[in-house]
Chains A and B, each alone.
Chain A
């Protein structure tokens, strides 16, 4: 079998690199669009005040949602709280998601303009 020429290999590599540029560029653009339009998911490394910050709700709401008394400087991540409370992290995340939904929480960028403003 004849070996492909160096030029052919270079051409294939060039096309792969071009494809990579477009694929990753497109994905970066799509994520950049979502940067404004979607709420952040809750992760086990986040603390309750941190989640409250990214979801624009008072931290007390989240403490109460998982059955804890609000503590202003409690920076424990969810995984540490789950360990202390003998509950799976997924349970806590579910309760927090429910609490956020129940408040009708929406990121400021997603909120419709107040009545009387705009068309």
Chain B
């Protein structure tokens, strides 16, 4: 499916970009980072317009995020259950919900661009956890615009190296996630050992 979406972007430009990023933000697994990087490359080739592309990609992502939030908050039990099944199960949703409550705005912000695979889960979980819509919307807009600008600029700079760049970004994201997990686990181990020594 990723190749079809990239082909559509290459052929139709902005409408395909808007539809793809919106659908991806709702939870359909599409290579959004590569889409944005390719958009940057198309901009450097003069095929697409820089500001227009940033506007279209940001609007599409934000619209998709809002749909996810609305489904979580007001979608009703049946629709929510369907979406949970589509996204992979109640257990993962419970994890995302816990993160949404714990991290709040920062969770929304960083899941827009730094750990983007978590994005659709956080949208949904924020709705279910009844996280303030205004706060969600503010962090969502900030995170999405930053992510869109960042990846489009990278694509524009490395316009002839998009596949290699996508591979770097993918592995960098996972390295970062693993590092954060290592730090959190290290902290837990350290506090557990300290408590043991005390008792």
| Contact surface of A with B, Cβ cutoff 8 Å | 6-7, 10-11, 13-14, 17-21, 23-25, 27-28, 31-32, 34-36, 38, 40-41, 43-47, 49-50, 53-56, 75-77, 79-80, 107
Are A10 and B7 touching (Cβ within 8 A)? no
Indicate which residue in A28, A36, A43, A50 contacts B175 across the interface (CB closer than 8 Å): A28
- Per the 8 Å Cβ criterion, residues 1-27 of B in contact with A are 3-4, 6-7, 10-11
We find that the number of chain B residues with CB closer than 8 angstroms to chain A is 37
Q: Which residues of B lie under 8 Å from residue A34 when comparing CB positions?
A: 164
Question: Could you list 22 A-B pairs, sorted by A, with CB under 8 Å?
Answer: A7-B196, A10-B192, A13-B185, A14-B185, A17-B185, A20-B174, A20-B175, A20-B181, A21-B179, A21-B182, A24-B171, A24-B175, A40-B160, A43-B3, A43-B6, A45-B6, A49-B47, A53-B45, A54-B41, A54-B160, A54-B161, A77-B11
Indicate which residue in B11, B164, B172 contacts A40 across the interface (CB closer than 8 Å): B164
Q: Which residues of A lie under 8 Å from residue B178 when comparing CB positions?
A: 17-21, 24
Please measure, in the bound complex, the distance between the C-alpha atom of A11 and the C-alpha atom of B188, giving whole angstroms.
10
Are B179 and A35 touching (Cβ within 8 A)? no
Residue interface bits B76-87, CB-to-A below 8 A is 1, else 0? 000000000000
B159 at the interface (CB under 8 A from A): yes
Q: Which residues of B lie under 8 Å from residue A41 when comparing CB positions?
A: 163
| A interface, over-half SS | helix
B62 shortest CB reach to chain A, Å: 25
Are B171 and A28 touching (Cβ within 8 A)? yes
Are B181 and A17 touching (Cβ within 8 A)? yes
B30 at the interface (CB under 8 A from A): no
Closest to A53 in B: B45
Are B167 and A47 touching (Cβ within 8 A)? no
- Please judge, given known A-B contacts A13-B185, A35-B165, whether A76 and B160 are in contact too, CB under 8 Å: no
Closest to A32 in B: B168
Q: Which residues of B lie under 8 Å from residue A107 when comparing CB positions?
A: 160
